[in-house]
Structure 1
Amino acid sequence: MNNKRWIGLIALLVAEAMNLLDATIVQVAAPVIHGDLGGRTADIQWFSAAYTLPFAALLITGGRLGDRFGRRRIFRIGVTGFVLTSATCALATEPGLLIGARAIQGATAALVIPQTIGLIKSGFTGRSLSKALGTIGPVMGLAGISGPLLGGFITEVSSWRAVFLVNVPLGIAVLALSHLLPESAAPQRPRIDVLGTVLLTAGTALVVYPILQSRDWVLLAGGVLLLGLCVLLQRRRTNGRLIELSLFAHRGFAWALGTSALFFAVMSGVTLVVVLHQQLTLHHGVMRSSLALLPWSAASGAASLIAGQWLVARFGSRLMYVGLGVLLVGLVVAPYALLPALAVGGVGVGLFTTAFFTEALHRVEPHETGSAAGLLNAVQQFGGTLGVAAFGSVFLHHAQTPERALWIAAAVVVVTVATAHLMRSPRRGRVVPEPVSTAR
């Protein structure tokens, strides 16, 4: 029985890795896809944003669906949809079809990812539970590092279509192993907030679309209005909410959401700009372009491991400032020495993320954990989508040179220092929370 649980855990980890790999692989292959399918230059950004936008907007609802109808059931439905849409992406013959399939693929991923923690907690107890949860961070770190390299390698030796086809055998293997997962659901099945989901999804889309393409600020204002209505609806509901409003009893969590959005906008935006610069400006091949991201990814993974094992326990949330400072140095130096600067920036990313998630989640009550993790993840993805939209647009509309985008990213990091300070909670004495493993 224990062996079956660990084999079931492998299925969950592969599903988690598929999501992260898909985002990073496609980001590297996007210019090649555009060269093959044609279309507008802005489509390069949409190949990534069309996936992350519905993924971000539907993550919380995906978690609620698992709570109500069974996490294993929703997990299997999501993986099935992910496999089918991956195959559709591989067969796309024009940009619009690919972008539409990517959007549905992101929606199916939002059914998969929120179930992971609940299924692990249902299958493990005690020390085994700690070990199982501890596998998430390293696997996600490895996926983050290998994603760009794998994307470059597959595209170089085969074609960009194989980038999507790789999900098909992986997804089928996950489905084959998923029967080993225990079924679980919330003791009190929550209602599904359909109106809140519609407002959140439509509002998010209307905020991102003008930044990516239309420059229609009326649409942007409409998106902000819909998001405001979603918040108002959540405040007025007594049950069936998308999120636990008790999370905002302390101002620190609200500032943590803002910090997450800003930071991951920089992360996603900078990596896209580097890839675009390598392929569109320097005319490097996709494999060489993916290798350019290796210093960033490898340094980030190593620094995250060191921070989680030793530094957070000693320095607590102050490590966030160190990480942001190191990242700022990397961004400032990047226009003059790109690869060394990316290594420096990657160290900053690794130091910050572990300290950030530890600080953001340490005050969360047990009944709020699922909602808090889902909301942080959703905001992280939303920030990444905005980063792709904003920094990609700056690059594409300013002579396809990275300098301006990197300077703006540095300015956003400075703002992030301020929001990170506002999210910190005052502590009596020297109390440092246990480091939190970061899945993404």
Structure 2
Amino acid sequence: MTNKRWIGLIALLIAEAMNLLDATIVQVAAPVIHTDLGGRTADIQWFSAAYTLPFAALLITGGRLGDRFGRRRMFRVGVTVFVLTSAACALATAPAELIGFRAVQGAAAALVIPQTIGLIRSSFTGSALSKALGTIGPVMGLAGISGPLLGGFITEASSWRVVFLVNVPLGIGVLALSHLLPESASPQPPRIDILGTLLLTGGTALVVYPILQSRDWFLLAAGVVLLGLCLLRKDGRLIEVSLFAHRGFAPALVTSTLFFAVMSGLTLVVVLHQQLTLHHSVMRSSLALLPWSAATGIAALVAGQWLVTRLGSRLMYVGLGVQLVGLATAPYALLPALAVGGIGVGLFTTAFFTEALHRVGPHETGSAAGLLNAVQQFGGTLGVAVFGTIFLHHPATIDRAAWVAVAVVVVTVATAHLMRSPHSTRRGRATPEPVRTGR
């Protein structure tokens, strides 16, 4: 039985990696897809945003569906839809088709990812549970590093369509192993807040669409209003209001949004700069991201093992400072700047999630982690929209995007300071359960 649980864990880890791989692989291949399918230049951004937007908006609801109807059942449904839409993406003949299939694919991922922690907890206990949870970080780090390289290699050696077909055998393998996972659900099934989900999804879409497409700022304002209504409504409670009683939680959401907007937006800008401005091959473009990905993984490992227990929340400032150095250097020496910036990302994220969750009560941890994950994805979508638009209007260099990123990170320093509690720098604080990054 024990061996079966560990084999079942493999299915969960593959599903987690598929989500991250799908985002990074498509980002590298997006300019080639646009060349092949034609359409508007803004479609390049939509190939990524159409996936991350529903993923961000539906993550919390996806978790609640698993709690209510069974996590293994919802996991299987999500993986099945993910596989089918991956095949549909590979067969798309027009940009609108691909964007539509990507949106459904993102919704399917929002049903898959929230179930993994619950399924791991129901599969393992004691020290085995700690070991199982400890496998998530390395697997996601490896997926983050290999995603751009795999995307570049597949697109250059074969076709961008194969980028989506990779998910089909992986997903079938996950479904084949998923019977080894135990079924589990919440002993107190939560309500499914349909109105809250519609407000969150509609508000997120209305905030992103004007930036990518229409420049209709009335729509953006309407989106902000819908998001506010989702937050303020008391019935249904898609978002746990009690979380905001913790002084630093609201600033943590803003910090996460800003930080991951820069992280995702600049990744796209580097790819566009390499392929559209410098006319480099897809493979060479993907190699340009290797210093960023590798440095992030190494820095996160070092921070998690040694630095966060010594420096506490002060490590956030170290990470942001290092990232600022990398961003300010980017217009002059891109590859070294990406390596330096990646170090900053790894240092910051480890300290950030520790600080964001350490004051949250045990009964709020799942909701807090889900909300942080959702705003992280929303920030990534916003970054793709904002920084992609900046570059496409000034495609000769990445200077303008880099300096805008510097300004955003400076603001992030201020919001990170608002997160801190008076005793958040003490040493030896217990580190809470890790929050997975979807990208």
Match of 1:392 among 388, 391, 394: 388
Work out whether 1:314 is the aligned partner of 2:310.
yes
Within-5 A mapping of 1:227-376: 227-233=227-233, 236-237=234-235, 240-376=236-372
- Which residue of the partner structure matches residue 379 of structure 2? 383
Query: Offset of 1:364 from its aligned partner?
Result: 1.3
Cα contact 2:273–2:395 (8 A) shared by 1:
no
1:61 and 2:61 correspond: yes
Hey, what's the Cα distance between the residues in 1 that align with 2:22 and 2:311? 34
Report matched runs for 1:93-108 at 5 Å: 93-108=93-108
Q: Is the 8 A contact 1:25 1:163 kept in 2?
A: yes
**Is contact 2:373–2:435 with CA below 8 Å preserved after alignment?**
no
Q: Equivalent residue for 1:26?
A: 26
The answer on whether the counterparts of 1:54 and 1:106 sit within 8 Å (CA) in structure 2 is: yes
TM-score, L = length of structure 1: 0.98
Residue type at the aligned position of 1:298: A
Contact 2:87 2:165 in 1 (8 A): yes
Is the 1:355–1:435 contact (alpha carbons within 8 Å) kept by the matching residues of 2?
Answer: no
Q: Does 1:226 align with 2:226?
A: yes
How many residue pairs match? The answer is 436
Deviations 1:98-146 (A, max 9, x none): 0000000000000000000000000000000000000000000000000
Counterpart amino acid of residue 179 in structure 2: H
Q: Supply the distance in 2 between the matched residues of 1:241 and 1:89 (Cα, whole angstroms).
A: 34
> 1:313-342, CA deviations, whole angstroms, 9 ceiling, x for partnerless residues?
111110000000000000000100000010
Amino acid at match of 2:436: A
Unaligned ranges ≥5, structure 1? none
Deviations 1:129-164 (A, max 9, x none): 000000000000000000000000000101000000
Counterpart of 1:439 in structure 2 is 436
Question: How far 1:243 moved relative to its partner?
Answer: 2.2
Identity over the aligned pairs, expressed in percent?
83
**In the alignment, which of 397, 400, 404 is matched to residue 400 of structure 2?**
404
1:123-142 pair list within 5 angstroms: 123-142=123-142
Compute the displacement of 1:187 (Å): 0.6
CA separation in 1, counterparts of 2:377 and 2:162?
A: 25
Q: Which moved more, 1:186-195 or 1:244-253?
A: 244-253
RMSD of aligned alpha carbons: 1.0
* CA–CA distance in structure 2, aligned partners of residues 93 and 433 of structure 1: 53
Query: What amino acid does structure 2 have at the position aligned with 1:343?
Result: A
User: Which residue in 2 is equivalent to 1:177?
Assistant: 177
How much does 1:400 deviate?
Answer: 3.9
Matched with 2:165 is: 165
Report if the CA contact (8 A) 1:262-1:416 is conserved: yes
Alpha-carbon shift at residue 435 of structure 1 (Å): 3.7
Q: Matches of 1:365 and 1:113 in 2, distance apart?
A: 22
Q: CA deviation at 1:428?
A: 8.0
Matched, 1:426 2:422: yes
Determine if contact 1:353/1:438 at 8 Å carries over to the other structure.
no
Give how far 1:232 is off: 2.0
Equivalents in 2 of 1:353, 1:428: separation in Å? 16
Mapped contact 1:354–1:438 kept (Cα < 8 A): no
Take 1:303 and 1:435, find their aligned partners in 2: how far apart are those partners?
A: 17
- Once the two structures are superposed, residues 346-403 of structure 1 have per-residue CA deviations (whole angstroms, 9 ceiling, x without a partner) of 0000000000001011111111111011000000000000000000000001134211
* 2:113 alignment counterpart: 113
CA contact (8 A) 2:373 2:436 kept: no
Note if contact 1:359-1:433 (Cα within 8 Å) is conserved in structure 2: no
Matched AA of 1:439: R
SS state at 1:260 partner: helix
Q: CA deviation at 1:225?
A: 1.1
Q: Deviations over 1:37-73 (max 9, x none)?
A: 0000000000000000000000000000000000000
**Aligned with 1:54: secondary structure?**
helix
**CA distance in structure 1 between the partners assigned to 2:225 and 2:219 by the alignment:** 10
Q: For 1:416, which of 408, 412, 417 is the aligned residue?
A: 412
Q: In the superposition, relative to structure 1, how do residues 136 and 417 fare at CA in structure 2: closer, same or farther (>3 Å)?
A: same
How far the C-alpha of 1:426 sits from its partner, in A, is: 1.2
CA distance in 1, matches of 2:435, 2:227: 27
Give the corresponding residue for 2:41. Answer: 41
Letter in 2 for 1:338: L
| 1:215 equivalent in structure 2 | 215
User: Offset of 1:430 from its aligned partner?
Assistant: 2.8
